[in-house]
Amino acid sequence: MPSASNKKRCVVVTGLGVVSSLGIGWQDFWKNLLAGKSGISKVDYFDTSQYDRKYAGQVKNFHPEEFIAKSRLKYLGRASQMAIAASKLALTDAGLKKKDIDPYRAGVCVGTTMGEGQVIEDFSKKSVSKKDLIKNILPLTYPANSITFNIASEFSLRGENHIFGNACAAGNFAIGKSYDLIRSGRADTMFAGGCDPLSRIAFTGFHRMITIASDRCQPFDKNRSGMIPGEGSGILILEEFEHAKKRGARIYAEILGYGAASDAYHMTQPHPRGGISAVTKALRNSGIDPEEVDYISAHGTGTQENDKAECEIFYHIFGKRIKDIPASSIKSMLGHTLGASSALESIACCLAIQDGKIPPTINYETPDPECDIDCVPNTYREHKVNIALNNSLAFGGNDYCVVFKELL
């Protein structure tokens, strides 16, 4: 039975949908994560000849026409295409039929960093004559909230609809908001997660900040040299427990709670105080002691400052026990998928709980005394997971932690 009080509505995860550089659908995604495969390859979406860095976690086997009617595709940017595809995969995985969903008690919350930025990027390559302006910009594709509208429209969801732009933590923000809506009785079913297509603008920004590694990401390694940009979408179907139980749904995990904070320090460099506050709140709000945590899905970008700050957070919260808690970074395999990252990492938490297996941090070679944690180096591990934390540290000091629990 759910661990939360009977006076509160319990929130469970019943469906998982993935579009990633490691596979379409959670099955391939999970298989390749556990195998320690890399989804990093040379960028072919845009010309990188003027860049020193040329690699990203690009999704190359995605065929949106397999998920979306061709008549609609021309009106959708790549972000919406990936988000709708991940939503359909999650809905199918949840075993939900349209008749099972009250459209007025179902909604969508999605996080993104760049939104439909590719639409503007594609247009910027073309002539800006008045004729081309009218011809080449698709109507209603460029606003960020077109993503959530397009999901809601695809599935006739008439409940609350929210878009989050909290950078790398945006997917977790979307999950937390969905949790609140179900918990408070304002919804029974939510499509929650994140998406971001590979963006030339974001790639250029990271390149200018000299934060992109040459060809691989090495979280927590002493010689780590930066992140690798990526793209993808992760969508979770969240339901109220009794709603899911009534229809005999498979339940991956219960969401116990979350914690959010701002470090109010620097636009791009995290300060440990924000993450300490977010994790502390998440544990307190979930009624969990630090000793009960079995796995941490680390933010783990592979940059010097981010990984160091995150480990300081772990040391502060867990003390010496942090060496006994597996804390891996799947960004080592996927790259940094921005607004999709914490959603995909939440999916990894649910699968770790389901399978009792921890995905590795690949490319780990040289221990760093300032990152002295068990990052599950290079090879997945069999490990019973009852409580999993998904930690995210975003630009703008936005920190968020979500707590998942096995439903006993």
CATH code, domain carrying 92 = 3.40.47.10
Residue 277 sits in the same domain as residue 376: yes
Average pLDDT of span 12-18: 98
Inter-CA distances, 4 with 312, 403, 407, Å: 30, 13, 11
| pLDDT given for residue 136 in this prediction | 54
Question: What does the pLDDT look like over 25-35, one tens digit per residue?
Answer: 999 999 999 99
Helix (H) or strand (E) holding 23: strand 23-24
Catalytic-residue membership of 162: no
Residue 276 sits in the same domain as residue 238: no
Question: What does the pLDDT look like over 326-350, one tens digit per residue?
Answer: 999 999 999 999 999 999 999 999 9
- Any domain includes 1: no
Residue 234 sits in the same domain as residue 328: no
Average pLDDT of span 246-257: 97
What is the pLDDT of the chain when averaged over all its residues?
Answer: 92
| pLDDT given for residue 264 in this prediction | 84
Residue 37 sits in the same domain as residue 102: yes
| pLDDT given for residue 122 in this prediction | 59
Spatial distance between the Cα atoms of 176 and 10, rounded to a whole number of angstroms: 13
| pLDDT given for residue 352 in this prediction | 98
Spatial distance between the Cα atoms of 295 and 291, rounded to a whole number of angstroms: 11
Q: Which of 109, 243, 299, 375 is catalytic?
A: 299
- Any domain includes 3: no
Average pLDDT of span 56-67: 96
φ, ψ of residue 381 in degrees (nearest 5): -135, 135
| pLDDT given for residue 138 in this prediction | 57
Residue 115 sits in the same domain as residue 175: yes
Q: Is the pLDDT of residue 6 over 50?
A: no
The domain containing residue 156 runs over which residues?
Answer: 11-246
Q: Is the pLDDT of residue 137 over 70?
A: no
Question: What does the pLDDT look like over 390-404, one tens digit per residue?
Answer: 999 988 889 999 999
> Which band of pLDDT confidence, cut at 50, 70 and 90, is reported for residue 4?
very low
> Which band of pLDDT confidence, cut at 50, 70 and 90, is reported for residue 125?
low
φ, ψ of residue 155 in degrees (nearest 5): -115, 10
Q: Is the pLDDT of residue 129 over 60?
A: no
Taking the CB of residue 210, how many other CB atoms lie within 10 A of it?
11
Q: Is the pLDDT of residue 36 over 80?
A: yes
To the nearest 10 degrees (0 to 180), the angle between helices 78-94 and 146-155 is: 40
Average pLDDT of span 364-380: 98
User: Which residue is listed with tokens 């999704």?
Assistant: 59
Residue 44 sits in the same domain as residue 149: yes
- Any domain includes 6: no
Question: What does the pLDDT look like over 89-113, one tens digit per residue?
Answer: 999 999 998 888 999 999 999 999 9
Residue 397 sits in the same domain as residue 261: yes
**Cβ neighbourhood burial of 290 (10 Å; 0-12, 13-18, 19+):** middle
Inter-CA distances, 241 with 28, 42, 107, 187, Å: 27, 43, 16, 12
CB 16 within 8 A of CB 236: yes
- In b/e form, how buried is each residue of 305-331, taking b as 16+ CB within 10 angstroms? ebbbbbbbbbbebbeeebeebbbbbbb
- Any domain includes 378: yes
| pLDDT given for residue 131 in this prediction | 53
Catalytic-residue membership of 243: no
Average pLDDT of span 66-70: 95
Q: Which of 10, 109, 168, 401 is catalytic?
A: 168
| pLDDT given for residue 98 in this prediction | 81
> Which band of pLDDT confidence, cut at 50, 70 and 90, is reported for residue 118?
low
> Which band of pLDDT confidence, cut at 50, 70 and 90, is reported for residue 246?
very high
Catalytic-residue membership of 266: no
Q: Which of 336, 371, 375, 401 is catalytic?
A: 336
Two tokens, residue 260: 């959010």
* Total domain count, the chain: 2
Number of H helices, E strands in the chain: 13, 15
Q: Is the pLDDT of residue 190 over 90?
A: yes
Residue 290 sits in the same domain as residue 163: no
